[in-house]
Amino acid sequence: MVIKSLLVWMGLLTLAVLNGAFREALLTPRFGAVASHVVSTFMLCTLILLVAFASLAWIGARDSAAAWRIGLTWLSLTLAFEFLAGHYLFGSSWSKLLADYDVRHGRIWVLVLLTTALAPVVMAAWRYPRP
């Protein structure tokens, strides 16, 4: 189950990068930075929910405990990638990385993190309802 959930997270990472490229290439020039980040955030949240729904059976997560482990693992990996790769690999400053959490300026990245953590739990409950 661990290897499969890591593979799915790598797919989510790929989708997030593609989503960001789409935002920068098409949305930001047309709608501006704030609006494009909001649209991009909701697009990525939707993709995460769909991937979680589609992958849970393959991963083997059929109960809430397994779904929680997967969600928290995905969240941890996402945060580690965002901050460590963002700073050390891509050269972003810590203040720039933290700016994505400033909801007062329309930065709602925290919704992606919540969705990442909760998507396996919500989708497992929907896919495998308890009687």
Query: What pTM did the predictor assign?
Result: 0.91
What confidence score (pLDDT) does residue 15 get? 97
What confidence score (pLDDT) does residue 104 get? 85
Q: Which residues of 42-53 are buried (b: 16+ CB within 10 A; e: fewer)?
A: ebbbebbbebbb
Domain boundaries, the chain: 2-127
5-56 pLDDT per residue, tens: 999 999 999 999 999 999 999 999 999 988 998 999 999 999 999 999 999 9
pLDDT at 103 over 90: no
Structure tokens at 91: 């050269």
68-88 pLDDT per residue, tens: 999 999 999 999 999 999 889
Is residue 83 within 8 Å of residue 19, measured between CB atoms?
Answer: no
